Amino acid sequence: MTVHIPVLAGELVDLLDPAPGEVAVDCTFGGGGHARLIAERIGASGTLIGIDRDPEAQARFEELAAEVACHTRFIRASFAEGLELLRDEGVRADMVYLDLGMSSMQVDTRERGFSYAYDAPLDMRMDPDQELSAREVVNTWEARQLARAFRDFGEERYANQIARSIVRHRPLETTNDLVEAIVSAVPAPARFGGGHPAKRTFQALRIVVNDELAQIDEALPIAWDVLKQNGRFAGISFHSLEDRRVKRFLAARAQGCVCPPDLPVCVCGHEPEAELLSRRAVSPTAGEIAHNPRSASARMRVARKL
């Protein structure tokens, strides 16, 4: 299979510190770059469990499984559903990690419609078997619904203007149709600098279509349940909406006393459940960004379960 090295790969392996015989759960298998590095470290006595809702990821996992020595298992599901299945089965892992957002292979498969850089059918489904697609959203939602999604999930300054433009330009069938509707709504001075004018709208639509933020909120506590004591968790995010959820989740588990600050002694007895393994989010080095510009926005947070 084609070797795929994802973002923050070395940092992930260093902080998770896989050892022979351990159980690792890759919640977002994607191209398998993280998984390959982990598999090499856990060895023949270890177990690698991959989760992904994309059937193309399943095919890549099967190729990887034929090349590595460890025991392997693949679950085709969203990471929240896959983790819930493992918890229900009583599986306990030494490490669980998520690489959130879409994989480079999804972006680069033009017909999937994830990118504003290529003309393709409006799709954006990570699971091609699901019904809801970007085409349905942009052609059936009211302008008010679209604007709210663009603000909430894309942090788009011109959400209202873009939503109204989309409604005027219907029907939209391709990514180019959508880009044209977006660009025509953005004031000329704002089209230059700060990235492509369609970037935030495409992000918002992808999040809506795949229910990404709800998946994260559902999956994080389940991932924590699946971890053994001293197990390690890592979450890699690519925008603030994802990172904020991972940060708050881990910070809450690393917190000790929750008594009001004016109490002279602790009476709550609350003990921290986690040790943060990095004081702040881990970012790519300048060298990695130069080699892979897509890594620039990546942030990783890692914790150990106490």
- The pairing of strands 227-237 and 299-305 is antiparallel
Q: Between the CA atoms of 260, 263, 266 and 270, what dihedral angle is there, to the nearest 10 degrees? A: -10
Structure tokens at 163: 């939503």
Question: Residue 235: what are its φ and ψ, rounded to 5°?
Answer: -130, 125
Q: Spell out the domains of the chain, with CATH numbers in brackets.
A: 9-105+212-305 (3.40.50.150), 112-210 (1.10.150.170)
The pLDDT profile of the chain, 306 residues, written as one tens digit per residue, is 444 568 999 999 999 999 999 999 999 998 899 999 999 999 999 999 999 999 889 999 999 999 999 999 999 999 999 999 999 999 999 999 999 976 555 555 666 777 888 899 999 999 889 999 999 999 999 999 999 999 999 999 999 999 999 999 999 999 999 999 999 999 887 777 667 899 999 999 999 999 999 999 999 999 999 999 999 999 999 999 999 999 999 999 999 877 888 887 887 877 899 999 988 999 999 999 999 888 899 999 999 999
**What are the distances in angstroms from CA 213 to CA 4, 31, 152, 153, 207?**
25, 21, 11, 9, 7
On whether the CB atoms of residues 206 and 238 are closer than 8 A, the answer is: no
Q: Is 77 helix (H, G, I), strand (E, B) or coil?
A: coil
Q: Is the dihedral of CA 56, 233, 292, 14 positive or negative?
A: negative
What is the pTM (predicted TM-score) of this model?
A: 0.89
